[in-house]
Homo-oligomer: A and B are copies of this chain.
Amino acid sequence: MADVLDIAKRRGFFWPSFEIYQGCSGFYTYGPLGALMKMRVENLIREYYMIHEGCLLVEAPTLTTEDPWVASGHVESFTDMTIECQKCGEAYRADQLIEEKTGKDVEGLSLGEIQKKIKDNKITCPKCSGVLGRVYDYNLMFKTYIGPGKRKVSGYLRPETAQTTYMPFKRLYELGRRKLPFGVIQFGRSFRNEISPRKGLVRLREFSQAEVQFFVHPKQKNEHPKFSVVKNFKVPILTKQDQKRKQKPKMIKIGELVKKKFTNEFIAYFLARSFQLYLQMGIDPRKLRLRQHRDDERCFYSKDTWDVEFLSDNYGRIELVGIADRTDYDLKRHMDLSKQDMKIDWNGEKLIPHIVEVAYGIDRPLFCIMESCLREDRDRIYFTFPPKVSPYQVAVFPLVRKDVLPKLAREIFETLRREGFFALYDETGSIGRLYYRQDEAGTPYCITIDYDSKKKGDVTIRNRDNQKQIRVKIKKVPEVLWELFEGGKFETLGRLIKQTVGKQKSHK
């Protein structure tokens, strides 16, 4: 069986960083194909939120002073209970050791209770059977110092972009012309000093995010202006009640989620939109579900949180996006600590807006796209990436590397690039070899220039998925390609989704 991780490494999508120095878990480097694909996934999210939701863009440093994380509660509470082997020094998450040994969920237990369970269950180091030490709270933020000498101050690598968007809230509110609701999106790296990450792109110590913050009137969380557009969209839902009753996800309409008071319109709306974005990216909808956080797992700052989760063959359940009603918690905390007024004047009323956050990971969906799109035939391996996220949209080859063919092929290639396609030119192999390479890169269409191209002015366009070929006039190539890619445009997304959800049902 073709293995995503193997292809990723071999074809240069991504690989473990610092390889030449034996690496360090939790760090990955994107190679040429992966970096392009990451850019395109980010563009898709950026385009959606900036153009269709009118969000403002903001970009803050990833290294910050200590204050924001005191305010947010991360300095105090962003911890994992950790235990180290006294013999070999290996560190573990204490709760995971207990869960692995007993099969029981220990979410919500105190440090003392966890310590007791380690003792009662006689848990030792899984690696060397050594005696384990004391359980302690380990803060997951990377710490450093800013400035030299006596005047240096504590610095932290941000564990989320969110606080770096909240701090300038008043500025952003003014720049957005004092409207509610209004949204702000921030792209960038965040960092978590995981204890022992072993899940590739899915658990990184440095990762990329796209976090969207909607500032909403506290009484208008059930008044999303475009809610009606998504209310009949069906999605697989797992509420916290379902989880208590050990039920499976149910396909229900987004509108029902709100009608039955499972959540508010803002959360429901962005659950639908996120689900649709993942469909656009080519993630297998049969592996997705929308799960509400249980009360015992929800973060302290949130009143209601939902994840879109993907079931990975390699890593089990993966959270792709977290959508949370953070209430006025964060802005209030910043107001308390900074003594700066975070209130706004809303028709004569002083109020602190509530925040609904839509927090996307970037690395994880990229991996899920690869897993969802990998196909293996008798004689080839290929990725069925949608043209919106494939590293390249089209590749151009001369049939042979002689006569006028390479020159003609290059001309067509240059035209396509000028027209805005992500195009690639290759002449370093037989035509079969070139197709094979592009199949493994997930390039949807290949264009071959042969001797007839010179004579008749036409070329072959080959479809990656069914390997069928059509003959197209050179002049018509850009137009034909745009038409082929049309399915990925927002205007026609409705149709695309109906088809996909139709399929989704029939597979159940």
Contact surface of A with B, Cβ cutoff 8 Å: 11-12, 15, 17-21, 24, 26-32, 34-36, 38-39, 51, 56-65, 67-68, 82, 84, 89-91, 138, 142-151, 153, 155, 157, 164, 167-168, 171-172, 175-177, 189, 191, 193, 195-196, 205-206, 334, 337-338, 340, 417-418, 420, 428, 491
A153 to B334, CA, bound (A): 33
A157: chain B residues at CB < 8 Å are 63, 144, 157
Asked if A15 meets B168 with Cβ closer than 8 Å, knowing A58-B35, A84-B149, the reply is yes
Secondary structure of the A contact surface, majority rule: mixed
**Chain B hits for A21, CB < 8 A:** 65, 67-68, 167, 337-338
Q: How far is the CB of A454 from chain B (nearest CB, A)?
A: 25
| A111 CB to nearest B CB, Å | 15
State in angstroms the CA–CA spacing of A196 and B61 once bound together: 17
A146/B193 in contact, CB under 8 A: yes
Alpha-carbon separation in the docked complex, A334 to B142 (Å): 26
Which residues of B sit under 8 angstroms from A418, Cβ to Cβ? 491
Taking each of A35, A61, A89, A168, which has the highest tally of chain B beta carbons within 10 Å of its own beta carbon?
A61
Across-interface contacts of A35 in B (CB, < 8 A) = 57-59
Q: Which of B11, B31, B57, B144 contacts A143 (CB 8 A)?
A: B144
5 contacts between A and B (CB under 8 A): A20-B340, A29-B168, A35-B59, A39-B57, A138-B148
Kindly list chain B residues whose C-beta atoms are within 8 Å of the C-beta of A34.
59
In the complex this chain forms, how many copies of it are found? 2
Query: Which residues does chain B contribute within 8 Å of A24, judged by CB atoms?
Result: 65, 146, 153
CA distance A60 to B24 in the complex (A): 13
Considering only CB atoms, which chain B residue lies closest to A140 in the complex?
A: B148
Q: Given A142-B155, A168-B15, A148–B67 Cβ distance below 8 Å?
A: no
Q: Report the minimum CB–CB distance from A150 to chain B (whole Å).
A: 4
The answer on a CB contact under 8 Å between A67 and B18 is yes
Chain B residues with CB below 8 A from A39, complex form:
57
Contact partner of A149 (CB less than 8 A), chosen from B89, B206, B340, B428, is: B89
Given A39-B57, A146-B205, A418-B491, 14 further pairs, Cβ under 8 A: A18-B64, A18-B65, A19-B167, A31-B56, A31-B168, A31-B175, A35-B58, A62-B189, A62-B206, A63-B157, A63-B206, A142-B155, A148-B195, A177-B428
Residue in B26, B63, B337 whose CB lies within 8 Å of A27: B63
- Contact indicator B17/A64 (Cβ below 8 Å): yes
A445 to B164, CA, bound (A): 33
Q: How far is the CA of A61 from the CA of B363 in the complex (A)?
A: 12
Complex formed: what's the CA distance from A68 to B29 in Å?
14
**Across chains A and B, which 7 residue pairs bring their CB atoms closest together, nearest first?**
A21-B67, A20-B338, A32-B56, A35-B57, A30-B59, A12-B175, A89-B150
Indicate if the CB atoms of B28 and A57 lie closer than 8 Å.
no
A433 to B6, CA, bound (A): 58
Residue of B nearest to A37 (CB): B57
Q: Choose among A18, A84, A189 the residue with the greatest number of B CB atoms under 10 Å from its CB.
A: A18
Q: Which residues on B sit within 8 Å (CB–CB) of A63?
A: 27, 142, 157, 191, 205-206
Asked if B172 and A31 sit within 8 Å, CB to CB, the answer is yes
A58 to chain B, nearest CB (A): 6
Q: How far is the CA of A428 from the CA of B177 in the complex (A)?
A: 8
Decide if B68 touches A147 in the complex (CB within 8 Å). Answer: no
Which B-chain residue is minimally distant from A57 (CB atoms)? B35
Residues of B within 8 A of A176 (CB): 32
- CA separation between A11 and B68, bound complex, in Å? 24
Does A147 lie within 8 Å of B340, measured CB to CB?
no
Given A51-B417, A338-B21 in contact, is the A61-B28 Cβ separation under 8 Å?
yes
Cβ contacts under 8 Å, A189 to chain B: 62, 189
A474 to chain B, nearest CB (A): 19
How far, in angstroms, from A191 to B146 measured CA to CA in the complex?
Answer: 11
CA distance A57 to B318 in the complex (A): 27
Q: A18-B65, A58-B35 are in contact. Are A82 and B148 (CB under 8 A)?
A: yes
Write the chain B residue with the least CB distance to A179.
B428
A56 to B148, CA, bound (A): 38
Complexed CA–CA distance, A57 and B28 (Å) = 15
Which of B17, B28, B90, B172 is within 8 Å of A151, CB to CB? B90
Contact B59 A167 (CB under 8 A): no
B420 engages A149 (CB within 8 Å): no
Determine how close the nearest CB of chain B comes to the CB of A41; give it in whole angstroms: 12
Interfacial chain B residues near A167, Cβ < 8 Å: 17-21
Output the least CB separation between A80 and chain B (Å): 9
B84 touches A12 (CB 8 A): no
How close is A156's CB to chain B, nearest CB, in angstroms? 9
Across-interface contacts of A91 in B (CB, < 8 A):
147-151
